[in-house]
Amino acid sequence: MTLQSLTKDSAAGHRRQRVRTFVIQPLVVILALLMFWYAGTGAFVSTRDGLNMLDGTNPQVDALRQRSQFEQLRRDLAAQVPPGTRMYPELPWDLWRHRLIEFGIMAGARMVPDPGQAQVRVKVVEDPAAPNGVRLVVTRVG
């Protein structure tokens, strides 16, 4: 073993040490920070959604409630209005009128533009006692 070979090995070891210090360690730190950020984002979103559900401001809760209202009204309309019946929705042009027209067509009813031509008139009323907070009212005409 010569002094030159020892010095050469020492220089190579020193270079490896510098590569580890300046390349690998920062990559490990960056990877750890990204993992903490990813986990923290999930925790933040879960906490926010949970708090929104508690105070009733979560839009998903409203959408699920509205979907269950739509399904209940569709079933009620199909049960109370036979196919082929001339139907007039008695609501202003809003979401419920639009849905009643769709549900009536799906059930086989015929929509009429004039209430005088209708065999039944339908509307949706708010009812806190109803399972979903709304109730379908079907009025037979003539």
Q: How many CB atoms lie within 10 A of CB 105?
A: 12
> How far is 14 from 56, CA to CA, in rounded Å?
62
Of residues 19 and 75, which shows the higher confidence score?
A: 75
Amino acid at 120: V
Q: How many CB atoms lie within 10 A of CB 49?
A: 13
Confidence of residue 80 (pLDDT cuts 50, 70, 90): very high
pLDDT at position 5 is 58
Query: What digits encode the pLDDT tens for the residues 92-114?
Result: 767 888 889 999 999 999 999 99
**pLDDT for 39 beyond 70:** yes
Q: Structure tokens of 103?
A: 């549900």
Half-sphere exposure of 123 (CA within 13 A, CB side): 11
**pLDDT for 11 beyond 70:** no
**pLDDT for 44 beyond 90:** no
108 neighbors 83 (Cβ within 8 angstroms): yes
